[in-house]
Structure 1
Amino acid sequence: MINRAHRVRAAIVAASFLLLAGCGGGTAERLGAGAGGSPPGHGGATPAPAPTASRAAEPRRLPGLGPRTLAAIPSRTRQAVVVTGRGKDSSSSHVVLYERTEAGWRAGPSRPAHNALKGWTDHHRAGDLRSPIGVFTLTDAGGLRPDPGTRLPYDRSGAFTSPGTGFEGESLAGSFDYVVAVDYNRRPGTTPLDWTRPLGASRGGGIWLHVDHGGPTHGCVGLRERDLVELMRALDPALHPVVVMGDAASLAR
């Protein structure tokens, strides 16, 4: 929880947060090294048991990700939220939560989403209306409404307001009822409202997974409320979750 003074500051900057950064944005800071995750082999003369049909279907590597993207995923990560954009300049994407098991990466359902109005970028600048491409940790959540049951630290605050309308005239009300902070150009371990920008304000910030308002974002990823709540309940800090986000071609590199 943030202290009283921080809440006052957060409320003051909320309006400028929306105007200057919208959902925020920035470049892809690369995290960790190596996809890892292969289970140890069986020793001795006893053969390994044959995998079940369900386990055999689980991929050893995250589908659709190329060597550069895979190398950016920390070896300790056991949960990966993969956001795949339809195209470099598209605001449509889909989201899949993968969890690493002994048999490979187990996929959850594919869920529709919106990303930034102008698509994706490897080098985001504040106001460019593109979402950052990269691998980022997920450590903190918050929202206007009560904690929906996430295991991430949750900050409930009235500063999670979203006035006005979106790019297609849709209401933004309720967009920040629930959010998960994407650790791009922010301090992990703080409320999503924290305004600290380690890379500087010009590099954007405030990139969140938030409730979809039915249109493109400034830089965030918007999911339907029920999908976001299910995702928030599934994320487990002990599994070191990350988000892998970008257009399909970029992620395949």
Structure 2
Amino acid sequence: MGFMRRAGSAMRTAAVAAAGLVLLAGCGGGASGDGAGGGAAAKKDGKGADGPARGPAPTTHLKAVPGVGAGLRSRIPAASRQVVAVYGKGVNSADATVVLYDKGAKGWDRKGSWAAHNGRRGWTADHREGDKRSPVGVFTLTDAGGVLADPGAKLPYTHSAAFTPPSYWAKSTRHDFDYVVAINYNRAKGTSPLDPARPDGQAKGGGIWLHMDHGSGTSGCVSISRSGMAAVLRALDPARHPVVVMGDKAHLSA
């Protein structure tokens, strides 16, 4: 199984190189990148974007994922046993909290929580190319990758230098894509996060990822600390059909 997994990963990496895919397909596709214009460096040691944050509710054995109303709850597939919940502070805010939930025999248990950022202009239920807002919704998580070697991910992982941000992006973004989980918004599932395909058309945007934080809002992605990304990558299990449920508090609770 280990050999088959390594072979599959190698084939995905080779496919990325052969196709000549470009990083600009990722993270909203903005040429300026998620961190254009700079931004404060992420705080360290649990005091800001690089450390765990308190979640919206305490909790083990929950009947439902906290803060998620009937509208989005009904869109969580019945087979899903893992949820990455992104709790945006407000519709026009770039601040958020990411909480990982896992469903056991007695209900949903919170497994981890991290300070986060989302689109620098906030959230939208009708995401468009270049709007700098993160899309509200429930999206499956099937593919991962990054500049760094696989930290022990269960999802298929594409290890490639092609994730390195362009040199003209702000220095604060240099490690944004060291670890990445593709959010399946307007993308081809089962492909590298670098795959630029947008099944619903270019105007609907795409390249929405969960990636490492640089201390400020993004072009539409969701970002957390390096330790958080490593923990999420090790936890997400395709056999548990993970999804992300994301939005500002008002949209989430509707």
Which TM-score bucket, shorter chain as reference?
0.7 to 0.9
Shift of 1:102: 1.2
Tell me which amino acid in the other structure corresponds to 2:122: G
Query: 1:188: how far off?
Result: 0.7
1:15 and 1:58, CA in 2 relative to 1: closer, same or farther beyond 3 A?
A: closer
Residues 60-71 of structure 1 correspond to what in structure 2 (within 5 A)?
A: 60-71=63-74
Partner of 2:151: 148
Following the alignment from structure 2 to structure 1, what is the Cα–Cα distance between the partners of residues 62 and 240? 18
Distance, in Å, in 1 between the alignment partners of 2:142 and 2:25 is 24
The one-letter code matched in structure 2 to 1:180 is V
Q: TM-score, normalised by structure 1?
A: 0.81
The 1:128–1:120 alpha-carbon spacing in structure 2 relative to 1, beyond 3 Å, is same
Say yes or no: does 1:131 pair with 2:134: yes
State how far apart, in whole Å, the 2-side matches of 1:6 and 1:232 are. 20
- 1:48-85 superposed Cα distances (whole Å, 9 cap, x missing partner): xxxxxxxx952111110110110000000000000000
Q: How many angstroms apart in 2 are the aligned matches of 1:16 and 1:239?
A: 28
Instruction: Map 1:26-105 onto structure 2 (within 5 A).
Output: 57-105=60-108
Match of 2:50 in 1: none
In structure 1, how many angstroms separate the alpha carbons of the residues matched to 2:232 and 2:90? Answer: 24
Match of residue 14, structure 1, among 23, 27, 47:
23
Gaps of 5+ in 2: 1-10, 35-58
Cα deviation code 1:139-172 (max 9, x no counterpart)? 0000011001000000011110113577xx6611
Q: How far does residue 215 in structure 1 lie from its aligned partner after superposition?
A: 1.0
In the alignment, what sits opposite 1:222? 223
- Larger gyration radius, structure 1 or structure 2: 1
Query: What is the RMSD computed on CA atoms of the aligned residues?
Result: 2.0
Distance of aligned partners of 1:151 and 1:16 in 2 relative to their CA distance in 1, 3 Å threshold: closer
Partner of 1:176: 177
In 2, Cα distance between equivalents of 1:57 and 1:83: 18
Q: Using a 3 Å threshold, how does the CA distance of structure 1 residues 5 and 182 change in structure 2: closer, same or farther?
A: closer
Letter of the 2:139 counterpart:
F
Which residue does the alignment assign to 1:40?
Answer: none
Name the aligned partner's letter for residue 233 of structure 1. R
Distance 1:71 1:144, change over 3 A: same
CA distance in 2, matches of 1:150, 1:4: 19
